[in-house]
Chain A
Amino acid sequence: MTRVTSIASNTFREAVRDRVLYNLIAFALLMVAASLLVGQISMNIERNVVINLGLTAVSLFGLVIAIFIGIGLVSKEIEKKTLYTILSRPVRRWEFILGKFGGLVATLVVNTVFMAVGIFAAVFYLAHHFQRADAYLLVALYFIILQFVMITALALLFSSFSSPLLSAVFAFALFVIGTFAQDLRGFASLTHGVIGWIAIAAAYVVPNFAALNVISSVAHDQPVAASLVLYNTLYALLYSAAAVAGAMLIFERRNLK
């Protein structure tokens, strides 16, 4: 386990030194500009606008980081041959995969925590106080992190067998399709026969990001059901575990030429 955490913390350190967290500056500027602007137009939608914008930005910034670092997690180490001096040590291949995955997830969590502070600061700036509904913001942020975990796992899986560019395209395409997962399942249930079965299987293989997106309901102060939190947690963890396990299996037999 210490080896997995060593690899994870080195992955985190790499992200920090490669100035990944600089995206926070862009995010901070965005939040400041948005707060000042909606503060001007006033009325009661300002909270709504800032939350909507803030959460969407958190999820887009994180998505870009998850995909672009995720696809290089393994392939870059193979290409640059840095893996040679790792795998000639008592590190099992699956430990390497798990460590890289954990390191990127940790990076994304830290990044999201900083952004969350920014959103709460903007909300406080506009309302001068916090209210009960603000707690649901935390749930929305938690769901966003769950999405990052899934995307990271998928990027890792794709990059274990295809080129970085293709992996990025796959991961991004899945994210877009997954955002419409609910509709896809609706369509699938309308088809019949063999095609129907295939459509339903396909609809369920696609990650269900729709269920993890509660941004607009939170922006409208609507509560999030506790059961949804539970289901989403289980779903995201199982889905990610399956993807990471797939990446491990593929990597286990891979020839590092």
Chain B
Amino acid sequence: MPTFVAMPAIETFGLEKTYTVGFWRKRPRCALRPLNLAVEEGEVFGYLGPNGAGKTTTLKLLMGLMFPTAGSAKILGREVNDPQVKAQIGFLPEQPYFYDYLTARELLEYYAQLSGVEARARSRRVAAVLERVGLRDVAGVQLRKFSKGMLQRVGIAQAILHDPKVVFLDEPMSGLDPIGRREVRDLIESLKQEGKTVFFSTHILSDAEALCDRVAVLHQGELRGIGVIADLTSSVRGKVEVIWQGGVIPPAMHALSAECHLIGAMARAVVGENQLDAAVDALRRANLKLVSVTPVRASLEDYFVEKLSPAEVAAR
């Protein structure tokens, strides 16, 4: 009887990267502090962080494009540069650029050869993937005539072309219009249905909220949080929305909330959960009639704002 040992699809062990910057006087710049991460097979994993957090750096290390300063990583239980691993992964780089003298079809045929797709299956596979990313009608056009969003689609096509088990996407939605973003969301969803592991970086939080089983939040090269989105956001101080009648905002309310304004004969303010009593008191003292109190669900954005810029929050 075969036994299956659960093995993470992606695993990093103290993965670390320090760049040297400066031409004359070389200075180290730490882009990734020791990172320990495990992504299970079949998971859609969001890798979040503001600009310069180290997302692309991590992906380049995982793709074997750069070598870590320390630590190591495994994909599907093997060392990242193992050709057997490479045959089973797909990668969409950030702002992809391709050989612009080729047509979309030629490029994908070439990549299919390199990925070891059998000659017989090649053209069928290429046609199918072009259809899937909505480029069927421009398959014979040279890539130098493609728009940014079309190139992004080519990038996604080449990442899933060879039916990889693990797909790495560096900001897959960037450069796409709203319809394109919806399509990529649907595509990631369908990859999940097919049982693939998807690891994607983004700073568009709504995309992560809509798609991810789990997320990791990276900031200044450091892992700040990892887990199910609901768990992460529950650690954020809750907020409530207070609405009252009478077109005035008492000064005491202004002091409690940075976010208050008039809506016709009503007024609205968002305050911290722990300040709700004080807010209600303030209304009562001003003889204003409370209409409603609604908890505001904390979003990833709140999580970002609160956890990633403590200085800014403290200044409020």
Contacts and interface: CB of A to CB of B under 8 A. Distances in A.
Nearest to A83: B65
Contacts of B66: 255-257
Interface in B25-39: none
B83 interface: yes
B220 interface: no
A119 B115 CA distance: 43
A192 interface: no
A183 interface: no
| Size class of the contact patch on chain B | 20 to 34
B63 interface: yes
Contacts of B99: 10, 14, 82
Interface of B: 19, 60, 63-67, 83-84, 86-87, 89-91, 93, 95-99, 101-102, 110-111, 113-116, 155, 158, 162, 168
A91 B114 contact: yes
Contacts of B90: 88
Interface string A218-257: 0000000000000000000000000000000000010111
B87 A90 contact: yes
Nearest to B92: A85
Nearest to A96: B114
A82 B162 CA distance: 18
A84 B65 contact: yes
A7 B110 CA distance: 8
Interface residues of A, number: 26
Contacts of B116: 90
A6 B60 CA distance: 24
B181 to A, nearest CB: 22
B86 A85 contact: no
Given A18-B101, A89-B114, A257 B93 contact: no
A215 B158 CA distance: 49
B115 A85 contact: no
A92 B67 CA distance: 15
A79 B64 CA distance: 17
Contacts of B101: 13-14, 17-18
Contact of B96 (A14, A85, A90, A256): A85
Given A87-B65, A255-B66, A81 B114 contact: no
A81 B63 CA distance: 13
Contact of A90 (B97, B98, B114): B114
B44 to A, nearest CB: 20
Contact of A84 (B19, B83, B91, B162): B91
Contact of A6 (B83, B87, B110): B110
Contacts of B168: 88
A88 B98 contact: no
A205 interface: no
Contacts of A90: 83-84, 86-87, 114-116
Identify the 9 closest CB pairs spanning chains A and B, nearest first.
A88-B91, A90-B83, A90-B86, A17-B101, A256-B65, A84-B93, A6-B113, A255-B66, A90-B87
A115 B14 CA distance: 58
Contact of A88 (B84, B89, B110): B89
Nearest to A99: B114
Nearest to A257: B66
Contacts of A89: 86-87, 111, 114-115, 162
Given A90-B83, A90-B86, A257-B19, A85 B98 contact: yes
Nearest to A79: B97
A132 interface: no
A74 B108 CA distance: 21
B114 A84 contact: no
A86 B60 contact: no
A129 interface: no
Interface centre among B86, B89, B90, B168 (most CB of A within 10 A): B86
A13 to B, nearest CB: 8
Contacts of B89: 88
A128 interface: no
A169 to B, nearest CB: 20
Contacts of B64: 87-88
